[in-house]
């Protein structure tokens, strides 16, 4: 993958020994998330509470090779990007199955946090503070030549005290055909930069040339959502929103916002990617705006997740793949089989 003049160098076949986990010390508990190609479980590794992502290998030889390549690229990127606003990466293994182990975040996804706040909006200081966390994570990724390409509230998790946001899921942080990405992540359209798609690309699955500025556009849509606590392109389907942004140059309204924030939004979602600021500039703009505010009052949503799990320290690299899923009472759903941790091999055979 390329970002400017930087490239991500990946060993397609081997995990660095210092990140290789021992599956015999991995215990898997309840499932907390699921995607097209992986499932995520709450578990323990060496007595630490962790999130365990188990990647499906696929059925055909071509599918297996593709998923293994994607897995190895993700692991390589996770292990080389340290930042407090990226979820902590603990290790991985390829055998007997492909596994990524990360810290377990207990604050839920930014999507759930916003839904629990509605119809109220976040205090400006809280919204911009969260945006600053996101911008700093993206600044770090881009400095390492990594384009995330799937920046949206579902891929942003909160710490247990719900004061810090961390970026997760580097599963799409690589160059691949656009149709593969859209098939796996249809909900992404609403936040996706217009240059990532066209009717020709969708039809033929051709590669589309773009750069790291696609993440800046997505950041603007997330920031708008933080400031308004409303779904961007409200009243439109995901496809309608994508069409309106790409072919009608439509954007959410930046009216009734402070001038600095309106300017930031409109510059980040400009049609010409080269006219958008980079994340270093965005961080400085957000810091300047925060300096003009008086300290915000703490805002806590109606549902606060509770757990006996210990939150791990944030100063480490990595990312997780899916958000923690909790029920309305803040509990992790458990089946009878999932009431207590079990050995890794047993759990994989039973629930994957």
Catalytic residue numbers read 150
What Å distances lie between residue 133 and 68, 197, 219, CA to CA? 31, 28, 11
Cis peptide upstream of residue 119 (ω within 30 degrees of 0): yes
Please report which helix (H) or strand (E) contains residue 75, including its range: helix 61-78
Determine contact, residues 167/86, Cβ cutoff 8 Å.
yes
DSSP letters, 196-263, are G--HHHHHH-------THHHHHHHHHHHHHHHH-S-TTTTS-HHHHHHHHHHS------TTS-HHHHH
Cis peptide upstream of residue 289 (ω within 30 degrees of 0): no
Please report which helix (H) or strand (E) contains residue 132, including its range: helix 124-143
Instruction: Give the contacts of 14 (CB within 8 A, at least 6 positions apart).
Output: none
């Amino acid at each position: 993958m390329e970002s400017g003049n930087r490239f991500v160098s990946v060993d397609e076949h081997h995990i660095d020994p210092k990140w290789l986990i021992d599956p015999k010390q991995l215990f898997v508990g309840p499932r907390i998330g699921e995607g097209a190609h992986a499932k995520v479980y709450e578990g323990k590794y060496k007595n630490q509470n962790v999130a365990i992502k188990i990647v499906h290998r696929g059925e055909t030889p071509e599918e297996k090779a593709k998923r293994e390549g994607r897995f190895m690229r993700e692991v390589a990127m996770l292990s080389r990007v340290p930042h407090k606003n990226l979820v902590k990466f603990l290790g991985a293994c390829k055998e007997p199955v492909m596994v990524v182990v990360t810290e377990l975040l207990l604050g839920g996804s930014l999507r759930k946090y916003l839904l629990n706040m509605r119809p109220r909006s976040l205090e400006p200081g809280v919204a911009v503070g969260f945006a600053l966390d996101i911008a700093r994570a993206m600044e770090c990724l881009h400095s390492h030549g990594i384009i995330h390409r799937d920046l949206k509230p579902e891929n942003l998790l909160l710490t247990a005290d719900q004061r810090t946001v961390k970026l997760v899921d580097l599963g799409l942080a690589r160059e691949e055909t656009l149709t593969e990405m859209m098939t796996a992540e249809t909900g992404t359209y609403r936040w996706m930069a217009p240059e990532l798609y066209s009717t020709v690309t969708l039809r033929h699955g051709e590669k589309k040339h773009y750069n790291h500025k696609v993440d800046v556009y997505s950041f603007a849509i997330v920031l708008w959502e933080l400031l308004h606590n409303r779904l961007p392109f409200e009243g439109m389907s995901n496809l309608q929103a994508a069409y309106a942004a790409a072919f009608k140059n439509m954007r959410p309204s930046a009216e009734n916002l402070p001038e600095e924030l309106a300017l930031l939004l409109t510059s980040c979602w400009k049609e010409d990617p080269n006219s958008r600021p980079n994340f270093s500039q965005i961080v400085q703009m957000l810091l300047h705006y925060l300096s003009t505010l008086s300290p915000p009052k703490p805002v806590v949503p109606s549902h606060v997740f509770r757990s006996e799990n210990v939150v791990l320290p944030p100063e480490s690299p990595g990312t997780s793949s899916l958000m923690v899923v909790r029920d309305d009472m803040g509990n992790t759903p458990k089946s009878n089989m999932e009431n207590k941790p079990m050995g890794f091999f047993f759990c994989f055979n039973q629930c994957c």
